[in-house]
């Protein structure tokens, strides 16, 4: 890349950067008075232990967390909302669905996450320009790799969170169904069984059961809340669980027997998935063995012989 073009890019960044920073700060701190007062006065419940009895204490939101969280997180959220306003609605819907499946990591909303993704991409562009200005060898390649990493990193992180939470739900569902079956056999209704599991299991499946209870308390029917669960998580096992429960309710069958048989079936499927993953391990080990272990092994075996071979061929 010519030096003049790099110079123009650097000058343009130095001129436009402060202007964009000032505009973003003005938009961030320009809030509606009502929204600002509500955000300031929102209080969240915190359980405190006193003499063995849990007490519900109200604490203002800005007083929670460490100083870094109270200073850094609001700036990140405000920056995310700033760029999230420019995003199409369709992209926001798909992104919001992923965030819901992932369990809303760090409490991020779709627009906030999109804004953070844009911010990381702009940071990558800034680092790429700095790399180009240094004039090191293959600077264009390093700059392109930096931009690509910054562009793909947020989406890769979110996709990893989605897969991790779905796998946790798949692994925990058979045990949760067993506990539901035990509760139903003991005489509890299905709703009370869901509530009991959600109270005693601090897991993703327990959180989803608690959300079902919350939706039913807000007026939704059990069938609607269960269908929302299947649509929200996009997990095949959850869809099967919802279908079994709804069919059992319509046909008037025993819910405890149905849950027990479904748990056995899902436990068999979980064992098959574990066997499948175990069979994939040799093929996954081939790449690190070929590129990391074998070269080191050859260096250890042939290393002492190399000087002798070099001296032998130099004598000719």
Q: Is residue 208 part of a domain?
A: yes
Residue 258 has which token pair?
A: 């149905």
Give domain status of residue 183, yes or no.
yes
Residue 88 lies in a domain: no
Beta-carbon contacts of 229 under 8 Å, excluding residues fewer than 6 positions away, are 208, 211, 212, 238, 242
Residue 24 has pLDDT above 70, yes or no: no
Domain with 188 in it: 166-271
Residues 6+ apart with CB under 8 A from 273: 170
- Please give the full DSSP string across 210-278, using - where no structure is assigned: HHHHHHHHTT--HHHHHHHHHHHH--HHHHHHHHHHHHHHHHT--HHHHHHHHHHHHHHHHHHHHHHHH
Q: Is residue 135 part of a domain?
A: no
Rounded CA separation 5/17 (Å): 18
pLDDT at 58 over 60: no
Q: Tell me: pLDDT of 156 over 90.
A: yes
Q: How far apart are CA 186 and CA 23, in angstroms?
A: 63
Number of domains in the chain: 1
Q: Is 96 buried (19+), middle (13-18) or exposed (0-12) by CB count in 10 A? A: middle
How far is the C-alpha of 199 from the C-alpha of 207, rounded, in Å?
Answer: 9
Q: What is the mean pLDDT of the chain?
A: 77
Q: The CATH number of the domain where 224 resides is what?
A: 1.20.81
Q: pLDDT tens digit string along 233-284?
A: 888 889 888 988 888 888 877 788 888 888 888 888 888 888 888 898 888 8
Q: Given pLDDT bands bounded at 50, 70 and 90, which one contains residue 127?
A: confident
Residue 242 resides in a domain = yes
In the predicted model, is pLDDT for residue 292 greater than 90?
Answer: no
Share of the chain above pLDDT 70, in %: 72
Please tell me which of 16-25, 111-120, 123-132, 150-159 the model is most confident about, judged by mean pLDDT.
150-159
Residue 124 lies in a domain: no
In a domain? residue 87: no
Residues 6+ apart with CB under 8 A from 271: none
Q: Is residue 160 in a domain?
A: no
pLDDT at residue 31 is higher than 50: no
pLDDT digits (tens, 9 = 90+) for 92-116: 788 888 888 888 887 778 887 887 8
């Amino acid at each position: 890349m010519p030096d003049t073009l790099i110079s123009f890019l650097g000058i343009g960044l130095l001129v436009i950067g402060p202007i964009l920073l000032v505009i973003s700060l003005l938009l961030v701190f320009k809030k509606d008075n009502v929204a600002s007062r509500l955000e300031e006065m929102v209080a969240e419940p915190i359980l405190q232990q006193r003499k063995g009895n849990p007490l519900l204490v109200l604490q203002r939101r800005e007083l929670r967390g460490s100083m870094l969280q109270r200073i850094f997180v609001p700036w990140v959220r405000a920056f995310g909302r700033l760029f999230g306003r420019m995003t199409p609605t369709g992209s926001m819907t798909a992104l919001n669905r992923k965030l819901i499946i992932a369990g809303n990591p760090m409490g991020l909303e779709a627009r906030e996450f999109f804004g953070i993704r844009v911010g990381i991409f702009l940071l990558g562009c800034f680092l790429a320009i700095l790399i180009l200005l240094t004039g090191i060898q293959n600077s264009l390649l390093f700059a392109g790799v930096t931009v690509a990493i910054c562009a793909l990193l947020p989406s890769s992180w979110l996709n990893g969170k989605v897969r991790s939470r779905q796998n946790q739900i798949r692994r925990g569902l058979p045990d949760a169904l067993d506990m539901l079956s035990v509760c139903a056999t003991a005489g509890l209704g299905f709703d009370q069984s869901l509530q009991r599991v959600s109270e005693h299991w601090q897991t993703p499946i327990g959180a989803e059961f608690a959300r079902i209870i919350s939706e039913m308390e807000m007026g939704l029917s059990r069938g609607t809340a269960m269908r929302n669960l299947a649509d929200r998580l996009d997990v095949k096992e959850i869809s099967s669980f919802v279908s079994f429960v709804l069919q059992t309710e319509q046909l008037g069958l025993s819910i405890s027997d149905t849950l027990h048989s479904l748990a056995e079936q899902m436990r068999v499927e979980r064992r098959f998935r574990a066997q499948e993953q175990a069979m994939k391990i040799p093929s996954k080990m081939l790449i690190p063995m070929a590129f990391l272990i074998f070269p080191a092994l050859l260096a250890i075996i042939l290393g002492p012989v190399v000087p002798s071979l070099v001296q032998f061929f130099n004598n000719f």
